[in-house]
Amino acid sequence: MSEETAEGETDDRRDGNGDGTEGGPADDEREYRQVLEAVRDRVDPDPDERERLREVADRLAERAESAATDRCPDADVVQVGSTARDTWISGDRDIDLFVRFPPELDRDTLEEYGLAVGHATLPEGHEEYAEHPYVKGTVEGFDVDVVPCFRLESATDIRSAVDRTPFHNSYLEARLDEDLAADVRVTKQFLKGIGAYGSDLRTRGFSGFLTELLVCEYGGFRPLLEAARDWHPQVELDPESHGQASFDDPLVAIDPTDPERNVAAVCSAANVARFQHYAREFLAEPAVEYFEPAAPEPLSPEAFRAHLERRGTTPVAVRFDAPDLVEDQLYPQLRKSLDGVTTGLDARGFDVFRATAMADDAGVLLVELAVDERPAVERHEGPPVHVQGHAAGFYEAYDADPDVYGPFIEGDRYVTEREREFTTAREFLESERLFDVGLGAHVETALEERYEVLVGAELTGLLEEFGTELREYFEPTP
Amino acid sequence: MSEETAEGETDDRRDGNGDGTEGGPADDEREYRQVLEAVRDRVDPDPDERERLREVADRLAERAESAATDRCPDADVVQVGSTARDTWISGDRDIDLFVRFPPELDRDTLEEYGLAVGHATLPEGHEEYAEHPYVKGTVEGFDVDVVPCFRLESATDIRSAVDRTPFHNSYLEARLDEDLAADVRVTKQFLKGIGAYGSDLRTRGFSGFLTELLVCEYGGFRPLLEAARDWHPQVELDPESHGQASFDDPLVAIDPTDPERNVAAVCSAANVARFQHYAREFLAEPAVEYFEPAAPEPLSPEAFRAHLERRGTTPVAVRFDAPDLVEDQLYPQLRKSLDGVTTGLDARGFDVFRATAMADDAGVLLVELAVDERPAVERHEGPPVHVQGHAAGFYEAYDADPDVYGPFIEGDRYVTEREREFTTAREFLESERLFDVGLGAHVETALEERYEVLVGAELTGLLEEFGTELREYFEPTP
């Protein structure tokens, strides 16, 4: 690590300095270094761990290359991903081998060869399906993927997302020196600590590739945090200055191998804000805690009841059997369903205060209501009296109806007060109308099968399965 | 009355024909005529009543003219108003004498002479103050006003509203024949029957002058109703085709003596719609009931409780000592206060379902709430995280506050959930914050003195004073 203690911004590519105002710059710097050392102790793989991984990876790569060239003399194998680039965190055990075939090969043959090479490399492995099939297996404790792809001239020629990976790998390998790789590991751990790491659709955070790109672009962990502290979204990075498309996302990092792709497309506004928040907090007062993912104790029934009492709201849960989907499919559907339920409740006057979705064996749409009861009547505005036929029809229909108040006149319109369809949120959620709100397709199917509505203290029954999620909900942090 | 029975529209100035579809045109026409006869029996003053009024009015006019010319030889006296034009309804007892002085006279002298003439005419009379002072008294059961004004060349030269009255009078006298005058009486009674008669600021309906103008313009009661049936506001009448200003009002009747004045300015959209509604109803099925003002029985405590039960809402009343104001001052203040209270409640999440104001000895602002309780917490959105100083200030302030939930991040913002100031409508209405909502000035003063808040069944205490108003509120009609 650089050891300068000069104040203010610096051109050094790796290490700006904190602008702490307490304890003096030298103290601040010492504190920062101590924290970073502790973190590196934790995240840097030791020589043994490295050696073991290297040995296994090389052996498997050789085996794969031999099996590949047997079938297609022009094939080769590249190791990709964080373990190939030394940006993996101690304890990570992913080895990714990409088997590249010439682009002249047709896709069917590529898949056939790919699987054959995979099985030859990982005799115990099994097939999985992403954009196309590949083989996954475990070797000496490492999780190994053997993925076939095309070897192309340019990343813009790619036929599927996996073809892009080798280009990313070369791009980063050319730019990551030992210090930057070390800072990538620290940054990843920081993002894990604050809950913003991962481009899966549950987290919608920072992917590994995005993290490496940001560290390269800003020149290290500390300059990245110092920049993030001052970010004003939309933040746009374009390492190759070749961006061609425009994006709505709060963070835009143009893929150095593809001018039309935003590497940060999946990263939510909340995670960008979260990173900015914790960058400020950490730089102001460095601590190892920021690198430690929160592991909240499940909420106890007593604490749950205390929150209910203190908040005075009415939490309502729709619980169903979680559809059997991978998280990247499940969470978007849960969010869509939660939006639908929220909109449906709000439209009926049941004010939603906050809401969240949870899934384990059960799926849960949790809506916390500020208003869970409405009166027995609702206003029903008719047409302006001057709209001839329509007005007369409205008046006659409701004048003859003993169950409505009115019609009377307000402003230029007929108004009646009629019986409200649902006077409690529970009635609405237990009715067929729940299926009109725009649910995710698989969630809808699951609800058609079976669901139950829990209100208020009945949610205590969720604590066993979702105690952690409920603590996060009721004791929210940035 | 015209006796044609031809179907459809007619050019006859007085009498179109109903286009009833039941019972045949001849039956409809017979029914219509029978109803009209019954109404005219009720509203037309009989010869005796006329004779008595004429005798008193002439005697007082002579007395006034003599007293006026004593002081100013160029003065004269005109009888104005409905009793002068034969458009008064049997039982009306208003005699209006306007004493006109030449415009050269200065205002002080006009007022002095005017009061002197008034007292000479009405020895038992007393002074009242409108735009300027006049004398009011009772003579043989008639209510007599003696009002001084300037005699001007043109109504556009007027110096105060009273100067306009003689011009209105001449305009109508020149146009109202006996049949039209009879139709004015019928129309006035119809407007009284449906509750839309009177340009006072409590009613905001059709003034006498407007009624006469409408009957003249459309050629009678029936053609007026037939036209109103098809009105599509904004409805604009300009008898003298000299209108110069534009108006927002739903009904515009340009003053025939003043191109910049809308005679119907005070007429509310609801009263225009009401007139249209009842015109349709009456023409479809004529009945004398339309000419009989509703005189609802006061709401009983049992009926009140039944409405509470059936509606499931929470009525809340602010009761205070009514300020000592004439209705034209009081009602605009009550409406302003009611708007303010409604806005204040809505802004705090207490959804107002419907509302009204009432006044007798007490003033009452009645707001019926769909939601009268809110949870103990409220959302408090902070700045976007990227707004440097502001965001940091918000975070630090609330992070240190043990009484809030959060700050947490939603989208790009900090959000906290903090204690709500008022969890019931009563708390808000009983607090000092009630005085921030924009009350009418005299209502505010009255509330500063004393008020009480009644909720739900406590409103039973209003039934004695406001039983009729509460029936109209809970059993609304067009």
Q: Please answer yes or no on whether B272 and A412 come within 8 Å at the CB atom.
A: yes
Q: What is the pLDDT of residue A24?
A: 77
Give the pLDDT confidence of B301-332 residue by residue, as tens digits. 999 999 999 999 999 999 999 999 999 999 99
Q: Which residue has the tokens 């109504």?
A: B155
CB contact (8 A) between residue B377 and residue A353: yes
A294 or B270: which leads in pLDDT: B270
Question: Hey, is the C-beta of A388 within 8 angstroms of any chain B C-beta?
Answer: yes
Q: Give the pLDDT confidence score for residue A159 in this predicted structure.
A: 86
- What is the separation, in whole angstroms, between the first and last Cα of chain A? 30
- Report the C-alpha gap between B188 and B206 in whole angstroms: 9
- CB contact at 8 A, A208 and A264: no
Distance in Å, alpha carbon of B210 to nearest chain A alpha carbon: 20
For chain A, how many residues are written? 478
Compute φ and ψ for A237, nearest 5 degrees. Answer: -120, 140
Which tens digit of pLDDT belongs to each residue from B197-206?
999 999 999 9
Average pLDDT over residues B213-233: 97
Is B414 in CB contact (< 8 Å) with chain A?
yes
* Cα–Cα dist A106/B198, whole Å: 89
Chain A residues with CB under 8 Å of B476 CB are: 405-406, 408
What pLDDT sits at residue B22?
53
Cα distance from N-terminal residue to C-terminal residue, chain B: 30
Q: What is the mean pLDDT of residues A133-151?
A: 95
Using the Cβ of B421 and the Cβ atoms of chain A, whether some distance falls under 8 Å is answered with: no
Say if residues B285 and B235 touch (Cβ distance below 8 Å): no
Confidence band of B475 (pLDDT split at 50, 70, 90): very high
Which structure tokens are listed for A63? 């085996």
**Tens digits of residue pLDDT in A13-40:** 334 444 444 567 888 889 999 999 999 9
What are the residue ranges spanned by the domains of chain A?
47-167, 176-291, 301-373+423-474, 377-419
**Chain B within 8 Å of A356 (Cβ-Cβ)?**
no
Interface mutation target, options A377, A381, A403, A475, chain B, most CBs of B under 10 Å: A377
Give, in order, the Cα–Cα distances in Å from B232 to each of A386, A395, A475, B271, B349. Answer: 5, 17, 58, 14, 36
Mean pLDDT is lowest, of A188-197, B158-167, B235-244, for B158-167
Contacts of B377 in chain A (CB under 8 A): 310-313, 353
- Whether residue B197 is annotated as binding a ligand: the answer is yes
Residue B10 has pLDDT above 60, yes or no: no
**Tens digits of residue pLDDT in A271-320:** 999 999 999 999 999 999 999 998 899 999 999 999 999 999 999 999 99
Q: Tell whether omega for the bond before B148 is within 30 degrees of 0, i.e. cis.
A: no
3-state secondary structure chain B: CCCCCCCCCCCCCCCCCCCCCCCHHHHHHHHHHHHHHHHHHHHCCCHHHHHHHHHHHHHHHHHHHHHHHHHCCCCEEEEECHHHHCCCCCCCCEEEEEEEECCCCCHHHHHHHHHHHHHHHCCCCEEEECCCEEEEEEECCEEEEEEEEECCCCHHHCCCHHHHHHHHHHHHHHHCCHHHHHHHHHHHHHHHHHCCECCCCCCCCECHHHHHHHHHHHCCHHHHHHHHHCCCCCEEECCCCCCCCCCCCCEEEEECCEEEEECCCCCCHHHHHHHHHHHHHHHHCCCHHHHCCCCCCCCCHHHHHHHHHHHCCEEEEEEEECCCCCHHHHHHHHHHHHHHHHHHHHHCCCCEEEEEEEECCEEEEEEEECCCECCCEEEEEEEECCCHHHHHHHHHHHHCCCCCEEEEEECCEEEEEEECCCCEHHHHHCCHHHHHCCCCHHHHHHHHHCEEEEEHHHHHHHHHHHHHHHHHHHCCCC
Task: Compute the distance between CA of residue A99 and CA of residue A159 in angstroms, rounded to an integer.
Answer: 15
pLDDT at A156: 82
B47-159 CATH, one of 3.40.50.2300, 3.40.50.10860, 3.40.50.720, 3.30.460.10: 3.30.460.10
Residue A8, pLDDT above cutoff 70: no
The CA distances from residue A106 to A114, A154, A198, in Å, are: 12, 18, 33
Look at residue B267 in the predicted model and tell me its pLDDT. Answer: 98
Binding residues of A: 82, 85, 94, 96, 145, 168, 188, 197
On whether the CB atoms of residues A90 and A44 are closer than 8 A, the answer is: yes
Closest by CA to A82, choosing from A142, A124, A3, is A142
In the numeric block, the tokens 């929150």 are attached to A307
Average pLDDT of chain B is 93
Partner-chain contact A412 B273, CB within 8 Å = yes
State mean pLDDT over B183-190: 98
Give Cα separations from B174 to B220, B224, B255, B317 (angstroms): 16, 20, 15, 51
Is B306 part of the contact surface with chain A (CB cutoff 8 Å)?
no
CA closest to A378 among chain B residues: B353
- Tell me what pLDDT residue A388 has: 86
By C-alpha distance, which of A410, A417, A1, A400 is closest to A183? Answer: A1
Tell whether omega for the bond before B388 is within 30 degrees of 0, i.e. cis: no
Report the chain A residue with the minimal C-alpha distance to residue B388: A230
Q: What is the mean pLDDT of residues A105-121?
A: 95
More confident residue, B17 or B459: B459
Please list every residue in chain B whose beta carbon sits closer than 8 Å to the beta carbon of residue A423.
312
Does the CB of B280 have a partner CB in chain A at under 8 Å? Answer: yes
| DSSP secondary structure letter of residue A153 | S
For residue A356, the chain B residues in CB contact (below 8 A) are none
B273-295 mean pLDDT: 96
Segment (H or E) for A70: helix A47-71
Contact of B389 with chain A, judged by CB distance below 8 Å, is answered with no
Tell me whether residues A313 and B375 touch, CB distance under 8 A: yes
ipTM: 0.89
Answer yes or no: are the C-beta atoms of A82 and A211 closer than 8 Å. no
> Looking at the complex, does the CB of residue A406 fall below 8 Å from at least one CB of chain B?
yes
User: CA-CA distance, B128 to B147, in Å (whole number)?
Assistant: 10
B270 CB within 8 Å of a chain A CB? yes
> What mean pLDDT do residues B381-406 have?
94
Contact yes or no for A71/A113 (Cβ under 8 A): yes
SS3 A59: helix
Which of B377, B388, B416 is the best substitution to test chain A (most A C-beta atoms within 10 A)? B377
What is the CATH T-level fold of the domain B301-373+423-474, as seen in this structure? Alpha-Beta Plaits (3.30.70)
Q: Could you give the CA distance from residue A96 to residue A222 in angstroms, rounded to a whole number?
A: 29
Q: Which two tokens stand for residue A350?
A: 């049941």
Residue B85 known to bind ligand:
yes
pLDDT for A13 equals: 33
Residue B8 has pLDDT above 80, yes or no: no
Token digits for A289? 């805690």
CATH number of B24-43+176-291: 1.10.1410.30
Q: Tell me the chain A residues in contact with residue B386 when contact means C-beta distances shorter than 8 Å.
A: 231-233, 273, 276
Percent of chain A residues topping a pLDDT of 70? 95
Q: At residue B25, what is the residue type?
A: P
Q: Binding site membership of A for CTP: which residues? A: 82, 85, 168, 188, 197
- CATH superfamily for A176-291 is CCA tRNA nucleotidyltransferase, domain 2 (1.10.1410.30)
* B242's tokens: 């000299």
> Is some CB atom of chain B closer than 8 A to the CB atom of A189?
no
Q: pLDDT value at position A43?
A: 97
pLDDT digits (tens, 9 = 90+) for A156-214: 888 888 899 999 999 999 999 999 999 999 999 999 999 999 999 999 999 999 999 99
Is residue B82 within 8 A of residue B164, CB to CB? The reply is: no
Query: Which residues, in sequence order, are CB contacts of B296 under 8 Å at separation 6+?
Result: B468, B471, B472, B475
A375 interfaces chain B, CB cutoff of 8 Å: yes
Q: Over 80: is that where the pLDDT of A1 sits? A: no
A376–B312 CB contact, under 8 Å: yes
B431 is in an annotated binding site: no
Taking phi over 0 as left and psi of -120 to 50 as alpha, with beta for the rest, A4 belongs to: beta
Q: What is the pLDDT of residue B388?
A: 86
| Res B23: pLDDT | 62
Instruction: Check if CATH label 3.40.50.2000 holds for domain A47-167.
Output: no
The partner residue sitting opposite B386, judged by closest CB among A232, A407, A410, is: A232
For the cut 60, the answer to whether the pLDDT of residue B386 exceeds it is yes
- pLDDT at A23 (0 to 100): 63
Q: What is the mean pLDDT of residues A397-410?
A: 95
Pairwise CB contact (< 8 Å): A312 & B230: no
Q: Left, alpha or beta for A165 (phi > 0: left; psi -120 to 50: alpha)?
A: alpha
Mean of pLDDT values over B85-98: 94
pLDDT at B14: 36
